[in-house]
Homo-oligomer: A and B are copies of this chain.
């Protein structure tokens, strides 16, 4: 279960479930694992930006990762981004020992030039060791680091342990085409590309050459269906499934409050016990919750959809 460049399918980004008082909620981790596995996920990604990772103490990070690794029984990718390489190294080596399939590394927001980005990944790989498969996280909207296809190619070519791109640029369709073009012209070895952004363009990302999705939309079943249908060449069906979820997906994809929406939906679905975030966190107004309820009710009425554990109340 070591991550490699052939990885494909859906790796849901798992939230970190907390009790209302801020303690870790291990039972909800187990429930999430069961639900992801049951829905047909290929793996899981934990301690991402949406996983409130910076709010965890080091030992908590390890505990959360270990619990997901044990519970999922599938490849688990662990976010190890950290301001210091020493902390990145200890977490990376510890989670690999406990059975992680690989780690994900986001650039620090201060990087501006290609040279700085390459230098950063060089330092990170030196720190964690060349034996740990890693994922590049490319998320300019939040991290304010612009990675061109060429700099991604340079990282891939320099580091054999780079096996995957978490693609989260916006707009990002042409970036997938550019990277697949590099593979086609032989200038870059093949890597796995899983897409993020809550899935907002997953329908077309698959057509551009993505291998799947790595994002936290609260209905991973839909992501899994779209990936499966697109791979089977059933384009219109894939879009039908996607379009039915788009109103909710768009609502979840709002900056700042997205995690609050996502945790609320997961709670409504019974997959986590509480939608609490560790402080400081974002919160939904009563009106916003009612809007999500309305979108869930519309989604539930839509026939032929697999809504998992969700029941309209």
Contact = CB atoms under 8 A, between A and B. Distances in A.
Nearest to A22: B86
A256 interface: yes
Interface in A93-127: 108-110, 112-115, 119-120, 123-124, 127
Contacts of A250: 200-201, 246, 250
Interface of A: 22, 52, 54-58, 83-87, 108-110, 112-115, 119-120, 123-124, 127, 140, 146, 148, 150, 170-171, 173-174, 177, 200-201, 203-204, 207-208, 236, 239, 242-243, 246-247, 250-251, 254-257, 278-280, 285, 287-288, 291, 298
A279 B114 contact: no
Contact of A171 (B57, B124, B173, B256): B256
Q: Indicate how many identical chains form the complex.
A: 4
A204 B291 contact: yes
Contacts of A87: 55, 57
A84 B174 contact: no
Contacts of A114: 114, 148, 150
20 contacts: A54-B83, A56-B84, A58-B58, A84-B279, A109-B109, A113-B146, A113-B148, A114-B150, A115-B148, A119-B280, A120-B280, A123-B280, A171-B254, A171-B257, A177-B285, A203-B247, A239-B247, A243-B243, A246-B247, A250-B250
Given A146-B113, A239-B298, A288 B174 contact: yes
Chain A at the B interface: mostly helix, strand, loop or mixed?
helix
A87 B52 CA distance: 13
Given A55-B84, A173-B288, A204-B251, 10 more contacts: A55-B87, A57-B58, A84-B279, A85-B279, A86-B278, A113-B148, A114-B150, A123-B280, A200-B250, A207-B291
A199 to B, nearest CB: 11
